[in-house]
Amino acid sequence: MLRWRVVTALVLAPVVVGALMLGRWAVLAVIVLLVARAAQELARALEPLPFPAALGSGALPVLLSIPYGLTGALAGVFLNLPWSLFWLSAKPDYRTLRALLALLLMGLWVGAPLAHLGLMWDVTGGRYLIIVAVVGPWISDAGAYFAGRLFGRHPLFPALSPKKTIEGAVGGLLLTAAAVGYFTYLFLDLSPLAAVLAGAAVSVLSQAGDLFESVLKRILDLKDLGRALPGHGGLLDRIDSLLFTAPAVYYFYILYLM
């Protein structure tokens, strides 16, 4: 499992770096591709929802955020309601709780958070914010994994994720607070206290994002939402933490600048 996680990270890291080097439109293109793949996974997991319906729900916040910023992202979330009504009224087969859940999840859980990832580009130090939001969860995951393997004794949330331990969560928190804290102190000019708090927040939200997807899969009685990435399952199994950290990093930095 660890071997595949490392391989996956080595494949994804150049994609992130390459997009950041190419510029804003490359970053937005990657975000749109992520939305498309997530829509495909949710449409399959929560049949009978059509792929175009899921894609539209996730794409609305992202596409509207390009010309209209944060207001556009919020408008995209609200437009999910009439968009969902359109598809749910199209055919009787679509009018299921699973289809409705998929549409709402694509807008609120996938589209809006990824729109915040794109919004970071327009903020001072945006490239570094994107790195924190994307790489921070990887650091937290690694810290939690090794701390859990070495010291894990007490389950964190046994009903949700039996393998996660308190010791692992603390290990991920400490490593992320140190690594992300040092990075943000150097490149984003955060004060030492704010930098450590930023790192700690990334770890807490990263682990919360992972637990949220664990709850979702238990509710739906699914092992994974997809099989795109070896060692992780689907794409959503890989970016579940990012979907929580991207908005958190954006708002933390915006409030700090204020």
Report the predicted TM-score, pTM, of the whole model to 2 decimal places: 0.92
Buried b (16+ CB within 10 A) or exposed e, 175-188: bbbbbbbebbbeeb
Note the pLDDT of residue 7. Answer: 64
The yes-or-no verdict on residue 246 having pLDDT over 80 is yes
pLDDT digits (tens, 9 = 90+) for 127-136: 999 999 999 9
Q: Which two tokens stand for residue 20?
A: 């950041």
Place of tokens 């994107």: 130
Q: Per-residue pLDDT averaged across 193-220, rounded?
A: 92
Q: Per-residue pLDDT averaged across 112-126, rounded?
A: 94
CB-count burial class (<10 Å; 0-12, 13-18, 19+) for 93: exposed
Note the pLDDT of residue 216. Answer: 87
Residue pair 204/173 in contact (Cβ under 8 Å)? The answer is yes
Closest CA to 84 of 115, 105, 53, 63: 53
pLDDT digits (tens, 9 = 90+) for 132-161: 999 999 999 999 999 989 998 888 888 778
Closest CA to 118 of 192, 11, 34, 52: 34
Residue pair 163/149 in contact (Cβ under 8 Å)? The answer is no
Please, which pLDDT band fits residue 231 given cuts at 50, 70 and 90?
Answer: low
Please, which pLDDT band fits residue 38 given cuts at 50, 70 and 90?
Answer: very high
Question: Residue ranges of the domains in the chain?
Answer: 24-122, 123-258
**CA–CA dist 153, 7 (Å, integer):** 28
- Specify the amino acid at residue 124: T
Q: Per-residue pLDDT averaged across 97-116, rounded?
A: 92
The yes-or-no verdict on residue 209 having pLDDT over 60 is yes
Task: Give the dihedral of Cα atoms 66, 68, 72, 73; nearest 10 deg.
Answer: 40
Q: At what angle do helices 24-45 and 51-90 cross, to 10 degrees?
A: 50
Q: At 11, is the secondary structure helix, strand, or coil?
A: helix
The yes-or-no verdict on residue 41 having pLDDT over 80 is yes
